[in-house]
Structure 1
Amino acid sequence: MRKLSSGEKTYTHVHSAHSTHAPDGGWGWMVTFSSFVISLFVDGLSFTFGIFFPEFLTYFGESKGKTQLLHSLLWGTFFSLGPVVSILVNKYGSRLVSSAGSVILSVGIFLSSFSSNLEMMIFFYSIVGGIGFGMLYLPSIVIIGVYFERKRALATGIAVCGAGVGGFVFAPLSEFLLEEYSWRGTLWIISAIFLNGVVVSTTFRPLKYQSQTRGNNKINSSSHKITSKNSNLSRRRLCLSCHDMFDFALLKSPTMLLYGASCFLVMFGLFIPTNFLPAHASDVNLSASEGARFILIMGVSNTVSRVVIGYITDKPWANSLIINSILLIIGGGATCCVPLYTTSANLIIYSVLFGAVIATFICLRSILMTELLGVHRLNSSFGLASLSMGLSTYFGSPIAGALSDISGNYNMAFYFAGITLALGGTICLPLRRISEWEKSRSFDLSTSLSLSCNEETIRESKSGSSSIYIISESCRTAV
């Protein structure tokens, strides 16, 4: 991986209490496989929505923009739950949260098959299913960062390449099931498949240091009760507990805010090609099977690219931020040109390229947040990034659908997607410098507060004040 700057080394030293020894193998590879399977489930359904889209349009008889709400609200709910799922994972652990998410997702998809109108379908398929998606997926990605350090990029690449496999497995499977059992029967079968997430989530067992940390917290809590009688202490412990569950300081981090803005822009356009490419293929007189084949090819490219990107970014010379930005900019430009692609060969080339773009953005999210913000903030930062992605996902596909309704074709939808993808990649370019500045500033502030608190504690100790514990505790929290 990339060498640390002096500012990053200093920041790492200050926050060494947050660092832990990752196994970098062993059971971690079983965890990686389970995360791979969950990515296969989640993204398999997402990438094949374009195959279901004509069926839903015909059955419900609604506009393209309104029907696209099914997909946008599914992913908007999924991503928007990021901070909430982060808190749940910190409280109950990845295993329990992920298992509960699998059950909720399966029930939501199954009940959606009985929908008599689009509104009911949106509630069960998009809202309930989105809640299940969020609870199932986020823990499976975050736990990779816990089990791996030196091989984190490779393990993450392997785990998230399940999304690409899901694309080329679910595309032909969905097409076959739709022909045999209609969309209702297809959803029954898919809901049963998703229930297997309960089984794979059982591998997400916590590492020993996590239980030790919880034990230390209990000891400290008992000690606090004995050493202080101040009535404000219980409120302070409550605030510290909330702070432990979620890092609210990230809301003021320039690095987090800028990366969140990039995710916001990218997610406006990321799902538009997968949702509209089969329909565009039909408009240029290609068959429905060819349209499904483009999604399959995108899935294959997605899978291979995730492993390749994970392997490359583990190299000392690789800069994951530059790789992410350049591919997003290239992918945005290629998406703007989709209306010009009228032959099967052109659309195959585009599908390969865009599969690599999806792989890069998804694979490098946790890697970038670990490099820029630290592994000890990964859970909270991943949750916030998911929230920003969810907010734009709510509107991206419906806006593209509305533009298609107005223009009578899908050209404006692809222009919109391409511009937002390219902008999202462009604003990431200065993130490394901003992160280094923020870490250096954090170290200077921490050093200053530490010295100030030590002086204050000494003065209070000499004066025999009974509030020394309160001051020390406040200083620890501030630093």
Structure 2
Amino acid sequence: MADTRDARIPVDRGWAWMVLLGSFAISTINVGTEKSFGIFFIEFLRQFKGKVFMTAMINTVWNVVFSITSASVLLIGFKRVSIRMSVFLGITLCTLGYGISCFATGLEYLLVSQSILVGMGAAFNIPPIYILIGEYFDKKKGIANAVFVSGNSLGGVIMPPLYRYVFDEYGLRGGLLITAGITFNSLVAAALLRPTTFYINHSSKKLCIDNGDGESKQLSKSADACSDLNSLQPLLSNTMPNNSTDTQTDIDNKDSDKSSNSVTVKYDKNNDIVFDCSTHKPETMENHVSTMEDEEKEQGCFLKCKNKMDCSLFKNIHFILFLVIYVLGNVANMCAHIYIPTYAKDIGISDNRIAIIVSVYCISDFAGRIFAGFLADLPRITAEHVVFVSQVVVGLVLQFTIYYTSFILLLVFAVILGCSAGMITALFPPMMFGIVGKARYPSAMAIFILWICLLEGLAVPVLGYFRDVNSTFHFTFHLMGASSFVCISLLIIFIILKKKTSSREKEDINDTSA
């Protein structure tokens, strides 16, 4: 697939790595905090005396809000608001959500502060970064996405012990207030997320000059030199042909005639100085643009999302199958960091050791995601192969949780599950990019998030319900492992279909060339 990015954007080089660094830091702080929900989960159960099902509803409502808001943000796009500004807004909403949670009097209050505010903040925060990384990286997008999502795991290493200490020292309410402060500090990293439009807006300015014969010349000049119209006069005189004096005289004499061949200084949408040499009235284009803007303002949010959504994706069998595969394969990764701490609590593991287990799980997850990105970029290994092997490991290790009854065995379980469960999360961006392409990637990402979060959001309370009914997590873990086995079966079908499609395309190319 040919790369259609503007040549002025530093793809796979330069500031792209600073953008990745900022994205990694944001992921470490914000998603790391979300992955520490197991620690928050225990504190919510302890403080408000709720059931596992009701407490898990906080995460479910969070997923619903996150999915709907993310889809709206990605479908409407970033025409008026840059990705960096969207991340700024998201971090601010997350900070506000954690901050007012310290005044909670019950689980119902947390459904508003934690689920709605933090869910909306995460939607403005994380999904747009996937789009930005896709704009900055091409050949190295596999390792770039793996590094970005591995920040989730590194945050899971750092944050759980930190929040465990904070809750022990300052209680739930003081800990939530400190969480808000930690989240707010990620604004510093967001400043590094320079939009790719920066390189286009600050590129060389182009001047259009009519030479009197109906032909035009384009000249480049820096933004500083173009700031003063008078500084352009020597440039105009020096570049005009022999009849430039007569042309300039005509311009001076017909300055009031807007339909003549006059040189008019204008600013385009990128603040570039443009010399209008055409004979049409300038008001025509301005009125047209104004009319389009008025029509856009009249459209509601839902109508904008409907118009932006690429419905042809629902006819793409590879894309639909990929969605189902990811839903089933990501259940373990999504629920493990919530239910492993509670399971450890049920078998009598102390709070400090639970924090260690969560940290070990996240360290393993971090290493596994980086390793998955490295493997996927190798010539003879595809992302599908890596996901297949990882899901086999996940499905097997979750079937033997009845034997994980000590701290050491839980550590081993956390290492194995951590190394394998997150690989599908690290590799879904390049996999989906290869299916839909760059042009349809934002629309596909919106559909992906809406679909995934709604379905997987239901998995958390349902699995929590089985724990309340059986008074143990063993059946819950068995179901999580079974979903991985179904994922493996569908992944085999996906690989076969992909190979057949690729072979058919090669045959069509050979027939055309012949």
Contact 2:76 2:305 in 1 (8 A): no
1:126 corresponds in structure 2 to: 115
AA aligned opposite 1:266 = G
Q: Secondary structure at the match of 1:116?
A: coil
What is the rounded CA distance, in whole Å, between the counterparts of 2:67 and 2:354 in structure 1? 28
Matched, 1:29 2:92: no
TM-score when normalising by structure 1: 0.79
Cα 1:60–1:315 shift into 2, 3 Å: same
Q: Name 2:422's counterpart in structure 1.
A: 359
Aligned to 2:379: 316
Query: In structure 1, what is the equivalent of residue 146 of structure 2?
Result: 157
Distance 2:130 2:72 in 1: 15
Q: 1:51 Cα shift?
A: 1.6
Evaluate the alpha carbon distance shift between residue 315 and residue 404 of structure 1 in structure 2; reply closer, same or farther with a 3 A threshold.
Answer: same
Alignment partners' CA distance in 1, 2:402 and 2:6: 49
Moved more, 278-287 or 26-35: 278-287
Match of 1:64? 52
| Cα-to-partner distance string for 1:52-76 (whole Å, 9 max, x where unaligned) | 2222112212211111112232234
Quick one: higher RCO (CA 8 Å, sep 6+), 1 or 2? 1
Deviates more, 1:303-312 or 1:70-79: 70-79
State the distance in 2 between where 1:299 and 1:43 align.
12
Q: Please say if residues 72 and 305 of structure 2, whose CA atoms lie closer than 8 Å, have aligned partners that are also in contact.
A: no
Q: Is the 8 A contact 1:68 1:398 kept in 2?
A: yes
Cα distance change, pair 322–81 in 1 and its aligned pair in 2 (3 A) = farther
User: Unpaired runs of 5+ in structure 2?
Assistant: 203-267, 275-279, 286-290, 509-514
**Closer, same or farther: CA 120–241 of 1 in aligned 2, 3 Å:** closer
Match of 1:45 in 2: 33
State the 1:132 CA deviation. 0.4
Shift of 1:294: 1.2
Within 5 Å, which residues of 2 pair with 1:11-410?
12=1, 23-91=11-79, 92-208=81-197, 245-410=308-473
Q: Give the deviation of 1:401 after TM superposition.
A: 1.4
The Cα shift of 1:430 comes to 2.9
As a proportion of its length, which structure holds more helix?
Answer: 1
With 140-149 and 330-339 compared, the bigger mean Cα shift is at 330-339
CA distance in 2 between partners of 1:234 and 1:438 (Å)? 41
Question: 1:74, 1:242 → 2: CA distance?
Answer: 21
Distance in structure 2 (CA, Å) of the matches to 1:211 and 1:364: 33
Shift of 1:433: 4.7
Q: Which moved more, 1:306-315 or 1:202-211?
A: 202-211
The two structures have a TM-score, normalised by structure 2, of 0.74
Does the Cα contact within 8 Å between 1:268 and 1:392 map onto a contact in 2? Answer: no
CA contact (8 A) 2:63 2:454 kept: no
Q: CA RMSD in A?
A: 3.5
Give the direction of change, closer, same or farther, for the CA distance of 1:210–1:314 in structure 2 (3 Å limit).
farther
Q: Contact 1:254/1:434 (CA < 8 Å) preserved in 2?
A: no
Q: Percent identity?
A: 23
CA distance in 2, matches of 1:44, 1:156: 16
Q: Distance in 2 between matches of 1:277 and 1:116?
A: 26
- 1:218-260 deviations in whole A, cap 9, x for unaligned? x9xx99x979xxxxx979x979987884433223221221111
Is 1:419 the counterpart of 2:408 in the alignment? no
Q: Are the structure 2 counterparts of residues 431 and 18 from structure 1 closer, same or farther at C-alpha, using a change threshold of 3 Å?
A: farther
Q: Distance in 1 between matches of 2:352 and 2:177?
A: 23
What is the deviation of 1:343?
Answer: 2.5
Paired residue secondary structure (2:54): helix
Query: Which position in structure 1 is the counterpart of 2:226?
Result: none
Query: 1:448 maps to which residue?
Result: none
Give the secondary structure class of the aligned counterpart of 1:318: coil
Q: Which runs of 5+ in 1 are unaligned?
A: 1-11, 228-232, 446-479
